[in-house]
C-alpha cells in the first residue's frame, strides 16, 4: 500500500488541511465537531499507523458518523495514511475521498459509512471477531454522533455489548446536542443502564480526552461522551 512519504504533520496543520478540502477558512460544524477527538485518538490512543494497516492485532477505529468526514481525512493525511495531495480533489468521481468514507478506496479507513447506525453493531462484531481469534489486546473504537444515537440499531448493540461485558469495545459519542429529541438524563446514563463504564469530558480538551479514552473499567465496554459546542 502506498503511504505518504512527507514528514508527519501536527495538530496545528489540520486547519490548512481542512481548507484544502472545503476551500473555505470557515468549516462546517459537522466536519469540525470530531476534530479534537480524532486527533487525540490517532495521536495518543490508537495502536494503528500506516505501517501496521494489515496487522490483525491492530486497534480498529470505526467512524460510524461518516458525514462531514473532512476532519477524519485531515487527521489520516496528517498521520501519513495517504498523501495530502488527495485532499485537493475531495468528492470528485475519481477521488478516493467521498463525502462518506469508503474502506475499499482509502488506506486506514476501517468501515464504509454514511447510513447512520451501522458502525456500532459492526464494531461489536469486530470486537467479538478479534476476541475469538485470540487478539485480547486489540481494542475496537467506534465514533458516533449524539443524533446518530437515535437510530435503534445502536441500542441493540449497546444492550448486547453491556450484557455480555464486551470490554474491548470503546465508543466515543461526540455530543453537539443535535439529536432532535435529546437524551434526558444524559447520554452516559443511557449506556450506564446497560452496564457500560462511562466518562463525560470536554471534547476539545486533549488531556481530558486521552485520560477518558485510556481508562476503561475492566470487564465492561466503555463509552466516552465528548461534549463540544452546540451544532445550532
Partner 1 sequence: MRETFVAGTTAILDEDPRTALVLADISAAAFEPVRERHPDRVLNVGIRESLLVGVAGGLAQTGLRPIAHSYAPFLVERAFEQIKLDFGNQDGHGVLVSVGASYDNAQAGRSHHAPGDVALIDTLPGWEVRVPGHPDEVDPLLRHAVGGDGSVYLRLSTRSNDGAHAGTDGRLVPLRTGHRAVVVAVGPMLSAVLAATVGLDVTVAYTNTVRPFDAAGLRELAGATGDTVILVEPYLAGTSARVVDDALLDRPHRTLGLGVRRVDLHRFGTPADHDDAHGLTPDALRHAIAGFLLPR
Q: Which positions lie near partner 1, rule CB under 8 A?
A: 56, 60, 103-104, 110-112, 114-115, 117-118, 120-133, 152-153, 156-157, 159-160
CB of 58 to partner 1, least distance (A): 11
Q: Rank residues 138 and 209 by Cβ distance to partner 1 and give the closer one.
A: 138
Pairwise CA distance, residues 50 & 117, whole Å? 27
Pairwise CA distance, residues 143 & 150, whole Å? 14
CB of 152 to partner 1, least distance (A): 7
Task: Compute CA distances 64 → 9, 11, 67, 191, 207, whole Å.
Answer: 25, 22, 9, 17, 24
For residue 201, the cross-strand partners are: 226
CB of 225 to partner 1, least distance (A): 22
Q: Rank residues 104 and 180 by Cβ distance to partner 1 and give the closer one.
A: 104
Q: Rank residues 96 and 114 by Cβ distance to partner 1 and give the closer one.
A: 114
Cβ within 8 Å of residue 228, ≥6 positions away: 33, 36, 174, 175, 176, 203, 204
Q: Rank residues 29 and 195 by Cβ distance to partner 1 and give the closer one.
A: 195
DSSP one-letter code for 34? T
Q: Rank residues 32 and 112 by Cβ distance to partner 1 and give the closer one.
A: 112
Q: Rank residues 9 and 120 by Cβ distance to partner 1 and give the closer one.
A: 120
CB of 113 to partner 1, least distance (A): 9
Task: Compute CA distances 86 → 19, 98, 165, 232, whole Å.
Answer: 13, 11, 40, 31
CB of 219 to partner 1, least distance (A): 16
Q: Which helix (H) or strand (E) holds 37?
A: helix 35-40
CB of 140 to partner 1, least distance (A): 8
**Per-residue DSSP letters for 135-170?**
-TT--EEEEEETTGGGSHHHHHHHHHHHHTT-TTEE
Instruction: Give the residue from 67, 65, 70 showing the smallest Cα distance to 32.
Output: 70
Amino acid at each position: 500500500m502506498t503511504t505518504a512519504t512527507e514528514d508527519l504533520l501536527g495538530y496545528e496543520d489540520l486547519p490548512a488541511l481542512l481548507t484544502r478540502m472545503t476551500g473555505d477558512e470557515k468549516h462546517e460544524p459537522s466536519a469540525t465537531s470530531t476534530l479534537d477527538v480524532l486527533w487525540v485518538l490517532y495521536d495518543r490512543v490508537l495502536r494503528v499507523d500506516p505501517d501496521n494497516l494489515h496487522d490483525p492485532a491492530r486497534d480498529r477505529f470505526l467512524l460510524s458518523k461518516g458525514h462531514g468526514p473532512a476532519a477524519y481525512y485531515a487527521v489520516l493525511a496528517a498521520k501519513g495514511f495517504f498523501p495530502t495531495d488527495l485532499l485537493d480533489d475531495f468528492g470528485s468521481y475519481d477521488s478516493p475521498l467521498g463525502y462518506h468514507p469508503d474502506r475499499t478506496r482509502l488506506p486506514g479507513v476501517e468501515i464504509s459509512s454514511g447510513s447512520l447506525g451501522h458502525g456500532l453493531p459492526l464494531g461489536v462484531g469486530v470486537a467479538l471477531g478479534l476476541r475469538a481469534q485470540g487478539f485480547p489486546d486489540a481494542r475496537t473504537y467506534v465514533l458516533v454522533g449524539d443524533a446518530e444515537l437515535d437510530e435503534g440499531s445502536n441500542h441493540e448493540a449497546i444492550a448486547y455489548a453491556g450484557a455480555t461485558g464486551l470490554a474491548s469495545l470503546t465508543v466515543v459519542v461526540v455530543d453537539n446536542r443535535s439529536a432532535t429529541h435529546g437524551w434526558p438524563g444524559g447520554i452516559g446514563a443511557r449506556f450506564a443502564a446497560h452496564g457500560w463504564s462511562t466518562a463525560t469530558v470536554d471534547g476539545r480538551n486533549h488531556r481530558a480526552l486521552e485520560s477518558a479514552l485510556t481508562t476503561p473499567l475492566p470487564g465492561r465496554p466503555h463509552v466516552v461522551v465528548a461534549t463540544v459546542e452546540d451544532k445550532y
